[in-house]
Amino acid sequence: MAIKTVPTQPFNDQKPGTSGLRKKVTVFQKPHYLENFVQSIFDSLQGYKGQTLVVGGDGRYYNRQAIQIILKMAAASGFGRVMVGQFGILSTPATSCIIRKYNTFGGIILSASHNPGGPDGDFGIKYNISNGGPAPEKVTDAIYASSQSLNSYKILEAPDVDLDKLGESKLDNMVVEVIDCVADYAELMESLFDFNSIRKLLTNGHFRMCMDSLHAVTGSYAHNIFEERLGAPKNTVINGTPLEDFGGGHPDPNLVYAHQLVEILFGENAPDFGAASDGDGDRNMILGRHFFVTPSDSLAILAANAKLVPGYSSGLTGIARSMPTSQAPDRVAAQLGIECYETPTGWKFFGNLLDADKATLCGEESFGTGSNHIREKDGLWAVLFWLNILAVRQQSVEEIVKEHWQTYGRNYYSRHDYEEVASDRANTLIENLRSAMPSLKGKQFGSSQVEYSDDFSYTDPIDGSISQKQGVRIGFTDGSRIVFRLSGTGTQGATVRIYLESYEPDPAKHNLDPQDALGNLIAIADEIAQIHTLTGMEKPTVIT
């Protein structure tokens, strides 16, 4: 088999965002586009010759073609072995699990996460390092730098590898091992949670759960774990067949896009527990009967109940949350006498804290929760954690959340997204806020007075690296907060995200609709940022 060196030219739009490079499928299909980025990854690495790489994706359109290209390029660049998921499938958490379990050099994940798929949908690629986590900024910066000076890439001329058959084959000198995509991950879950208690709960004849895989990657994992290993009835998992276009849906587990699940859980004769996960299986949404658990509360509740779960029974070293996530977990950390770290948005910022054992649980408002068991957020892990708590406490989801609020107070929380805003308008909105920041302190908006206003900057406590301009924060003297930032994961125009939070200690006032409880802050956000005028939009596209 011959190695071909193909001349190419740099693309100027290959800077990885919050989570790797995400673009329209049609962009990745442009001649050399994917190959350039893959070569840039390899060129920015050192010492990988003869080493093992893990490759897998969420099964979306173009996954299989991309994997064949990556395998041939890995062989041409001198990797010794590639472990690839059967059918080209590996969820993001499973990839992280496999990188760690087999001590591989790193991994490549093909996914655009919660973004829609199909020929006109989105595709994505990201590199994970040997701890199993997304490459930190210094690595993604190096990849981007390589992409800007690239003039050729190497690829093996060889027939495609059969991705459907388990076992080993060879591409020139490199071994390709097609692995079962579920087994290692499911074993890890069994080692963390009390499967016997969860099995009893799921088979006791009255507890009912519904898991919506949104036709995305967790279908195979959820059938195996909930129905086969834990004995739940066969119809527990809905939309459980992974499809290249996610059945035309938007594989984002929130109240808007997981509407079938929401209708079931808020309908008549609703099950006790509902959950959904996203395109690549790292996000989760948790519902009780007629009840939604905000991701920030979910992290706080998992932390407060961690001792009930075998994998965490010895306690937590710390908690970490992204800056825009509500401060509910901070209250639990204070009670437990442990640190709560505040990082920029992006799971990659948790890696160092987890490696240094400074944090055990991490979470984000964007429906991501996880722990030190891997270095990615993990949707099904969060579902199992909740099931384990439900099995021990024998209470409903709603009772558990309300008791939590009684103990710690309630952090009312909501995120308003304005999607597909023209980039120049979105940038103007953020720039205007930055200019207004110095004059905001002390300013009165109705009964709210601004206590501080800044652009969040993070210094990593482990390696000292600094990340600036991570979101404009406006804090008020009563502890409430508004955060503005632009999404780093969209592929069309810009998405303006506005995060709103207020704290209510009085249990008598815990039953408000968050949009009502936050009404004052919503109005202030518009007054300060002129959102409606600048975006030209009457209301947010998505409210979570």
In the complex with ligand G16, the residue whose CB is nearer, 81 or 283, is 283
Q: How many residues bind ligand G16 (CB under 6 A)?
A: 18
Pick from 272, 364, 378, 460 the residue near ligand G16 by CB under 6 A: 364
CB of 407 to ligand G16, least distance (A): 27
Q: How many CA atoms lie within 13 A of 192 on its CB side?
A: 24
Instruction: Kindly state the smallest distance separating residue 350's Cβ from ligand G16, in Å.
Output: 8
Task: Compute the C-alpha angle 211/300/358, nearest 5°.
Answer: 110
The yes or no reply on residue 366 touching ligand G16 (CB under 6 A) is yes
Interaction between residue 114 and ligand G16 (CB under 6 A): yes
Alpha carbon distance 155, 133 (integer Å): 26
- Using CA atoms, how far apart are residues 209 and 445, in angstroms rounded to an integer? 45
Cα separation, 484 vs 498, in Å, equals: 5
Contact pick of 14, 19, 52, 236 for ligand G16 (by CB under 6 A): 19
Distance in angstroms between the alpha carbons of the first and the last residue of the chain: 52
User: Tokens at residue 263, please?
Assistant: 């209708």
Question: What are the C-alpha distances in Å from 37 to residues 95, 117, 140, 147?
Answer: 20, 20, 11, 6
473 binds ligand G16 (CB under 6 A): no
Q: At what angle do helices 295-304 and 379-393 cross, to 10 degrees?
A: 50
Least distance from ligand G16 to the Cβ atom of residue 83, Å: 21
Residues labelled as active-site residues: 113
Assess 345 for contact with ligand G16 (CB under 6 A).
Answer: yes
Helix (H) or strand (E) holding 40: helix 33-44
Residue nearer to ligand G16 on the CB measure, 68 or 131: 131
Q: What is the CA radius of gyration of the chain?
A: 23
Instruction: Between 198 and 276, name the residue whose CB sits nearer to ligand G16.
Output: 276
Task: Determine the Cα–Cα distance for residues 335 and 518; give it in Å rounded to an integer.
Answer: 26
Q: Does 416 bind ligand G16 (CB under 6 A)?
A: no
Backbone torsions φ then ψ of 210, nearest 5 degrees: -135, 125
- Alpha-carbon gap, residue 72 to 76, rounded angstroms: 6
Look up tokens 């490696």; give the residue: 355
Shortest spacing between CB 96 and ligand G16, in angstroms: 12
Among 23, 215, 250, 283, binds ligand G16 (CB under 6 A): 283
Nearer to ligand G16, 79 or 221 (CB): 221
User: In this complex, which beta carbon is closest to ligand G16, that of residue 372 or of residue 489?
Assistant: 489
Say whether residue 369 binds ligand G16 (CB under 6 A): no
What distance in Å separates the CA atoms of residue 94 and residue 379, rounded to the nearest whole number? 11
Question: Could you give the C-alpha distances from 411 to 34, 501, 539, in angstroms and in order?
Answer: 43, 7, 23
Distance CA 166, CA 178 (A): 5
Residue 344 makes contact with ligand G16 by CB under 6 A: no
Contact mark string toward ligand G16, 304..343, x via CB under 6 A: ------------------x---------------------
Among 57, 132, 249, 368, binds ligand G16 (CB under 6 A): 368
Contact 113, 123 (CB under 8 A): no
Query: Among 14, 16, 18, 331, which residue sits at the site for ligand G16 (rule: CB under 6 A)?
Result: 18
Binding to ligand G16 (CB under 6 A) within 205-234 occurs at none
Nearest distance in Å: CB 377, ligand G16 = 7
| Subset of residues 182 to 201 that bind ligand G16, contact rule: CB under 6 A | none
Kindly list the residues in this chain that would bind ligand G16 in the complex (CB under 6 A): 18-19, 113-114, 278, 282-283, 322, 345-347, 364, 366, 368, 487-489, 497
